Amino acid sequence: MIINHPLLGPRDAAEFVVKGDANLINRPDWQADDAAQQFYEYAYLRDNPAGEHRELWYHEQGDRSWLVVTRNTLTHEVTKVELARDVARAAGRSA
Amino acid sequence: MPDFTLTPTSPLKGFDKQFGDIRLREVTDQAILSLATPLGGETALKAAVGSAWGLEMPAPGRSSRADDGKVHLLGLGADQIFILKPHDHLQPDAPVREALNGAGYATDQSDVWAMLEITGPGLRRALERICPLDLHPDAFPVGAVARTMMEHMGAIILRSGEDAFILLAASSSAGSFLHAVETSLNWTAP
């Protein structure tokens, strides 16, 4: 599988480590009234879609960047690769 | 005082060997430094690099080299620069810090890397067997650089000429890395 890194171009998936659901970026607010419930869901509940899925990948044998890879779990087709930094910033989670 | 003296030695003990037309040798006269950008200091560092060496900050995957060959900047990723320069100072980071006047954080990395130079026609046949990247000149032209892995070992590869590459690998596993390159050359050298 080839992952088309937004900065570095096409790279072999062997250079990466997969972390799992990209929803891990959306860490709940610890001061919310229902923080315990939100963290329970954040830590333990995952969608397991048959089809398009967004995952966090870490470019360990490369520039050590975190990526959000949109991948079809049925075909392994990679349709989108973004820097996790940009995704987090777009969601207002990072300066 | 103890009655012995210490002599410096390089990770590969100055390896130098010919494989047909291809030469593989250890480079021992280069210092390797990382250059980090202070938070929010991108513009200042860019200006300092320009005035110190007359160089552009390289984009990820590209390198820029001073005309006199004394400074070589490698763009390894976003805000990740490595510097190659002649190892002519006991503390190679000192003159770099001085030249940049506080606009960047330079850290000496020389001792943790082993550096190999491979030159000669047809060397791509050996490298393409151990390097996962496309090394065709259209995809990886002169001056291109990448941090990747070869034979499960982290490595940096730089195309220094049409038929010349620089390979950097961890000094702790330099022997295994050299063995991988040597084996590939033995299989492919004419």
- In this predicted complex, what is the ipTM? 0.83
Indicate the residue of B61, B78, B134 with minimum beta-carbon distance to A65: B78
Residue A95 lies in a domain: no
> What does the pLDDT average to over B92-101?
93
Task: Tell me the backbone φ, ψ of residue A55, rounded to 5 degrees.
Answer: -130, 155
pLDDT value at position B90?
A: 86
Q: Judge: domain B30-110, CATH 3.30.70.60.
A: no
For A59, nearest residue in chain B (alpha carbons): B148
Scored b (16 or more CB within 10 A) or e, B15-35 reads beeebeebbbbbbbebbbbbb
Residues of chain A in Cβ contact (below 8 Å) with chain B:
7-12, 14-15, 61-65, 83
Q: Domain limits at A86?
A: 2-90
The C-alpha of A74 sits at a distance from chain B's nearest C-alpha, in angstroms, of: 25
Residues B149 and B155 sit within 8 Å (Cβ to Cβ): yes
**pLDDT tens, B119-129?**
999 999 999 99
**Residue A19 CA to its chain's centroid (Å):** 7
For B154, nearest residue in chain A (alpha carbons): A61
What CATH architecture applies to the domain B16-28+112-188?
2-Layer Sandwich (3.30)
Give start-end residues of each CATH 3.30.70.1520 domain in chain B: 30-110
**DSSP run (H or E) holding B98:** helix B93-100
Contacts of B128 in chain A (CB under 8 A): none
**pLDDT tens, A63-89?**
999 999 999 999 999 999 999 999 999
Residue A60 lies in a domain: yes
Residues of chain B in Cβ contact (below 8 Å) with chain A:
60-61, 76-78, 80, 132-134, 146-149, 154
**pLDDT tens, A30-52?**
999 999 999 999 999 999 999 99
pLDDT value at position B173?
A: 95
Domain count, chain A: 1
In this prediction, residue B103 has a pLDDT band, given cuts at 50, 70 and 90, of very high
Residue A79 lies in a domain: yes
CA atoms within 13 A on the CB side of A58: 7
Residue A58 lies in a domain: yes
Percentage of chain B with pLDDT > 70?
A: 99
Contacts of B133 in chain A (CB under 8 A): 11
In this prediction, residue B190 has a pLDDT band, given cuts at 50, 70 and 90, of low
> What does the pLDDT average to over B69-84?
92
